[in-house]
A = this chain, B = another copy of it.
Amino acid sequence: MSDGLLLLAAGDEVAVATRALTAGEVIPLPTGEPLTVRSSVPRGHKVAVVARSAGEPVRKYGATIGRATAAIGVGEHVHVHNLEITEADQPHEFGTDRHTLTPPPGDRPTFLGYPRADGRVGTRNYIGILTSVNCSASTARMIVDQFRGQVLDAYPNVDGVVALTHRSGCGLVTESEGARVLMRTLRGYAAHPNIAGLLVLGLGCEMLQSSRIVDSADIPSSTLIEQLVIQDEGGIRRTVRAGVEAVNRMLEPINALQREPCDVSKLVLGLNCGGSDGYSGITANPALGVASDRLVSYGGTSILAETPEVHGAEGLLTRRAVSEAVGRKLLDRLDWWRDYTAAGGGTMDNNPSPGNKAGGLTTILEKSLGAVAKGGHADLAEVVEYAERPRVPGLIFMDTPGYDPVSVTGIVAGGANVVCFTTGRGSVFGCKPVPSIKLGTSTELYERMPEDIDINCGTIVDGTDTLEEVGDTVFEQILAVASGRQTVSEELDLGQEEFVPWQLGAVT
């Protein structure tokens, strides 16, 4: 819809003002019919494009965001004065809103990846130095430092050496939930298809022994594996020397690997947002949703996450669940979260803040919808826990915090081989060993931080591109990046600091 109004899905009763509108303005609807604006409407707020009687549901981006509390005429401002959610809008229904996604006509897309022995596909060839405990973190970084700069130029098929260090591994309660979540995360990285070579580095006296990580992870037989323990080697200098030798031994065989055409269904896309703004829910997130749906239609996998941002609107997802069991698992995780945040002295309030309301968000359903839009309209195929590997393809929900590095670390541990990250305020996120494509929500952001954003989704509100067009661009970029194209975060060599396993439980 051009100049002033954006309709997010066919059939929606409201459109979004992409600029401040004044009463009396006439704007053409997609049908060609003219719409006369009836009141002044701030940018980002909603305008009725279909009349509603009191009590009737109102849809935005194809989903109910609430009910009219009074009659609403075409062209009127729709906000807290005439829209509200009722119990009826939040039923716990399972599978009542499923959509079969059919792939677009034409050839199935492929990408150039590195097939691994377990059938999964790497999009990068990294050598990962995984630490069992913080005590070996410095040593891991010293080894990595030897492979910075031009040292790897002779190995074009080696994307880098990354230190996957974390701050825990000791001072944990044995067999606690926190210890299990950390172990699952480390195993997920050890077995990740983008880790072509793995060096596990321990101190020696830590609780979480490095041999346990290797022995219990389901690592593809194609991964080269080495282990070093500082106390056994006789200190840091000797361990650094041995570690550099171990990495050197891996370089030639990994460089000999060649990218091969792989079916698009081998992509596992991680979805996330950070530093959201008023445009996130109407530009970058739904554009990413279009790309996610495209991938799912081809039999690929897409992982939505960030549980706190779904809270209060979980019905949006349970109605798309492929089974009651899948829907109930989401509800169970939300119960867990209520206890978790209460123990931390907080609450799970996800209602629109005063700032959200000023920006045009009226209800919790509408707010969550903006976040969930990253996952498009696909059925919810499975709900997994943090860092768990999905068992089926399709749209997956992983239970993670909203905090970016922690959320994406879980998603990558679960096997994502490409990540798309939407940002309004300007995140500078990367997540080695996986490429992270950053989608900016506005042209203003894209112009302010040009070196940190891959795709400007602001053209949707600028009126120069449709949601579908930007969604296409995102999908094409996913294929290109999976095939080796560098993202801005890779050009900046970001992503080592962003490995942050979810720390749960007591530090003793």
Contacts and interface: CB of A to CB of B under 8 A. Distances in A.
Given A135-B429, A139-B428, A234-B448, A344 B506 contact: yes
Given A138-B497, A428-B235, A506-B340, A167 B345 contact: no
Contacts of A405: 134-135, 167
Interface stretch (A42-50, A71-79, A171-179, A253-261): A171-179
Interface stretch (A112-120, A449-457, A461-469, A476-484): A449-457
Contacts of A176: 344-346
A401 interface: yes
Among the interface residues A404, A425, A426, which one has the most CB atoms of the partner chain B within 10 A? Answer: A426
A496 B138 contact: yes
Nearest to A307: B508
Nearest to A428: B236
B426 A204 contact: yes
A341 interface: yes
A328 to B, nearest CB: 23
Given A171-B403, A405-B167, A451 B235 contact: yes
Contacts of A496: 138
Size category of the A interface is 35 or more
A109 interface: no
Contacts of A425: 203-205, 231
Contacts of A274: 135
A451 to B, nearest CB: 5
A235 B449 contact: yes
Contact of A138 (B165, B401, B494): B494
Given A173-B345, A178-B344, A340-B506, 16 more contacts: A134-B405, A135-B274, A137-B498, A138-B497, A165-B497, A167-B167, A167-B503, A171-B401, A171-B404, A173-B344, A204-B426, A230-B426, A237-B492, A238-B451, A308-B508, A503-B507
**Which A-B residue pairs are the 10 nearest by beta carbons?**
A171-B403, A344-B506, A173-B346, A205-B425, A137-B497, A344-B505, A235-B449, A235-B452, A205-B275, A176-B345
Interface of A: 134-139, 141, 165, 167, 170-171, 173, 176-178, 203-205, 230-231, 234-238, 274-275, 308, 340-341, 343-346, 401-406, 425-430, 448-452, 492, 494-498, 500, 502-503, 505-508
12 contacts: A135-B428, A141-B497, A171-B404, A176-B346, A203-B275, A203-B426, A203-B428, A230-B426, A231-B448, A344-B505, A345-B506, A503-B507
